[in-house]
Amino acid sequence: MTRNDQELAELKEKLLTMASHAEALVSKAIKALVDRNEELARSVKESDSIIDRIEIEVDDMAIHLLAKAPLATDLRMITVAMKISQNLERVGDEATTIARRAIELNTEPQLKPYIDIPRMANIALEMLKGALDAFVNKQPDQALKIVPRDKEVDSIHKQFQRELSSYMIENPKNISRCLNLMTISKSIERIADHATNIAEEVVYLYEARDIRHSGKEVETQSDEAKPQPK
């Protein structure tokens, strides 16, 4: 293994460490909400700085590698690593937001059983883990399967927002709790977006195809198969 290959491997390992922390923070934040565990929620807030630090380390390693004028394939790996790092840092931020709102919700009686939020979070975490597995195992085909799942989270999020809006209309005393739950739901929806971003970067890394802003890949392919109007 050349020195350059070793440094690329270290960059990848650093990224996976960051991913592990991000996934753990989201899981802890959701558990803190469901279990009404303020101590766990506060630990999430305190741990976010670890992800921030690793992001800086990833950027430093990437810039060092970029200065060596890498080959095209290595260049893609380095730039994609930086983008994945940015998305993981934002996942950590969203976990912190969830934890902060959980602490506020713990000061009032629980509005309703938490069903939709854990369901959304499970899908978002599956997406995140799947995208990172596709990155590690060099499986752009698996990354492509993750992209359409974002719609599942969007659908649950919109339905949950409508339900919470009804609660607020029925009783103004519910407004504070509903707004906190809306923020948490939005944070989970954003985590799913970041997982989608990572999956799209994996496709770019291994297939040199940029599928961002092109709609869901499966839908795009289906549209291309349809007869075009004359």
CB 201 within 8 A of CB 80: yes
Measured CA to CA, the distance from residue 162 to residue 45 in angstroms comes to: 29
Q: How many structural domains is the chain composed of?
A: 1
225 located within any domain: no
Q: 92 lies in a domain?
A: yes
**Is residue 227 a part of any domain in this protein?**
no
pLDDT at residue 190 greater than cutoff 80? yes
69 pLDDT higher than 80: no
In a domain, 80, yes or no: yes
pTM: 0.90
CATH number (domain holding residue 121): 1.20.58.220
> What pLDDT digit, counting tens, does each position of 95-127 carry?
999 999 999 999 999 999 999 999 999 999 999
Dihedral, CA of residue 117, residue 192, residue 22 and residue 187, to nearest 10: -50
Can you tell me the distance from the alpha carbon of 9 to that of 184, in angstroms, rounded to the nearest whole number? 35
- Does 223 fall in a domain? no
**Residue 228 within any structural domain of the chain:** no
**Residue 222 included in any domain:** no
Q: How far is CA 133 from CA 1, 40, 126, 127, 199, in A?
A: 23, 27, 10, 10, 10
| Residue range(s) defining the domain that contains residue 195 | 3-216
- Position 225 scores a pLDDT of 39
